[in-house]
């Protein structure tokens, strides 16, 4: 096996400066040593091309300067956008994000969450697929976790940015009803096994209250696959859709267009999320906006507070929905 390149170790820097490795270690982190020594060490390190090995550092100290970002399903364009923006915001805080994709699978979510903990991430941001899963409680011991979307049941998280899904669902369904749609197909994201998300529960409750006739169908986020599902639902006679993700609504657009059905004339579509592309379609997709910028800021603030070992605020931030009316509902 060819050496993957010989790098300087902390011991060589120690030798070069006549100090002990311990002193070098402290100096490089600016602790407990004189200014002059710090400078000397810094110079020697530079000269030798020394850079601390993050793996060794992680093993010894248990910290990494890294934040895990576990997404529910990265096939969702909105979650993609969220991940990218959180990644950039963390970068501005000198952390770097490890982005992972649970692919809508609760089992995979459990595995990846554990894996991130074992990787010694300083904190974890998660958009849970199954917020009711039991393992969250254990995970939250000793690892600051910030949840986005739904709160984790029975877990001492370091913070949560939750969506007021009850309000969001009400907004969407009332809008559809006000425009004369009583019979509505609800397209909700596919999950490998299907824990009922709080949001789904609200749909049924609200539909009952509003006297609407609801059919819930699961659909994938990927455009081609969502289009297929939408097509099936169209052929079942549905003409009004409430999609639990803008990505899925795009599938309805595609399916309707394929069949030559006009939006909003013949088919009404309502989204949920407000992805930037939704405004570009014609007609624009009427949707429920959660203020992605605010979510990013809140999540990063919570996670930075927790990762620095500060007091676990347990901030709970509730996002209020806003109807973004664009014309896809007749």
Partner DNA sequence: GCGGTTCACTGAACCGTTTCAGTGAACCGC
Partner DNA sequence: GCGGTTCACTGAAACGGTTCAGTGAACCGC
Interface ranges with a second copy (CB under 8 A): 2-5, 51, 53-56, 58-59, 62, 74-75, 77, 80, 84, 87-88, 91, 96, 98-101, 103, 112, 114-115, 118-120, 138, 141-143, 223-224, 250, 253-254, 257, 276-277, 279-282
Sequence-distant (≥ 6) Cβ neighbours of residue 277 within 8 angstroms: 77, 246, 250
**Considering beta carbons, is residue 74 or 303 the nearer one to a second copy?**
74
Give the whole-angstrom CA distance, residue 278 versus residue 34: 58
Shortest distance, position 52 Cβ to a second copy, whole Å: 9
Pairing of strands 322-324, 287-289: antiparallel
**Considering beta carbons, is residue 75 or 273 the nearer one to a second copy?**
75
Sequence-distant (≥ 6) Cβ neighbours of residue 35 within 8 angstroms: none
Selection from DNA, a second copy, none that 112 binds (CB < 5 to 8 A by kind) is a second copy
Q: Are 12 and 52 in contact (CB under 8 A)?
A: no
**Considering beta carbons, is residue 120 or 326 the nearer one to DNA?**
120
Is residue 120 close enough to count as binding DNA by CB under 7 A?
A: no
Burial pattern 257-292, b for ≥16 Cβ within 10 A else e, equals: eeeeeebbeebbbbbbbbbeebeebebbbbbbbbeb
Give the whole-angstrom CA distance, residue 126 versus residue 259: 38
Q: Are 133 and 106 in contact (CB under 8 A)?
A: yes
Q: Among 15, 42, 48, 52, indicate the residue that binds DNA (CB under 7 A).
A: 52
Is residue 119 close enough to count as binding DNA by CB under 7 A?
A: no
Site for DNA in 19-38 (CB under 7 A): 19-23, 25-29, 32-34, 36-37
Selection from DNA, a second copy, none that 107 binds (CB < 5 to 8 A by kind) is none
Q: Among 2, 30, 47, 59, indicate the residue that binds DNA (CB under 7 A).
A: 59
Is residue 43 close enough to count as binding DNA by CB under 7 A?
A: no
The interaxial angle of helices 292-307 and 77-92, nearest 10 deg, is 50
Q: Are 234 and 262 in contact (CB under 8 A)?
A: no
Give the whole-angstrom CA distance, residue 197 versus residue 131: 8
Selection from DNA, a second copy, none that 250 binds (CB < 5 to 8 A by kind) is a second copy
Contact residues for DNA (CB under 7 A)? 7-11, 18-23, 25-29, 32-34, 36-37, 50-53, 56-57, 59-63
């Amino acid at each position: 096996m060819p050496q993957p390149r010989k790098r300087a170790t902390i011991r060589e820097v120690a030798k070069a400066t006549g100090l002990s490795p311990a002193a070098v270690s402290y100096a490089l982190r600016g602790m407990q040593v004189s200014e002059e020594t710090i400078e000397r060490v810094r110079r020697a390190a530079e000269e030798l091309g020394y850079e601390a090995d993050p793996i060794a550092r992680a093993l010894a100290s248990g910290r990494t300067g890294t934040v895990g970002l576990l997404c529910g399903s990265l096939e969702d364009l909105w979650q993609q956008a969220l991940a990218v923006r959180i990644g950039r915001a963390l970068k501005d805080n000198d952390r770097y994000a490890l982005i992972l994709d649970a692919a809508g699978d609760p089992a995979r979510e459990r595995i990846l969450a554990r894996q991130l903990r074992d990787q010694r991430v300083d904190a974890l941001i998660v958009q849970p697929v199954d917020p009711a899963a039991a393992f969250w409680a254990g995970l939250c011991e000793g690892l600051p976790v910030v949840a986005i979307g739904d709160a984790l049941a029975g877990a001492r998280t370091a913070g949560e940015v939750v969506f007021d899904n009850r309000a969001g669902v009400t907004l969407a369904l009332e809008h559809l009803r006000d425009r004369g749609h009583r019979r509505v197909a609800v397209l909700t994201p596919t999950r490998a096994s299907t824990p009922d998300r709080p949001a789904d529960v609200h749909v049924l409750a609200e539909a009952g209250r509003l006297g609407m006739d609801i059919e819930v169908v699961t659909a994938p986020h990927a455009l081609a696959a969502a289009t297929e599902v939408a097509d099936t639902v169209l052929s079942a006679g549905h003409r009004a859709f409430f999609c639990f993700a803008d990505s899925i609504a795009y599938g309805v657009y595609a399916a309707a267009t394929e069949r030559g059905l006009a939006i909003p004339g013949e088919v009404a579509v309502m989204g949920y999320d407000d992805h930037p592309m939704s405004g570009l379609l014609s007609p624009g997709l009427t949707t429920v906006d959660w203020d992605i910028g605010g979510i990013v800021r809140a999540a990063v603030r919570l996670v930075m507070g927790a990762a620095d070992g500060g007091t676990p605020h347990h901030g709970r931030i509730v996002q209020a929905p806003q109807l973004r009316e664009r014309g896809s509902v007749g």
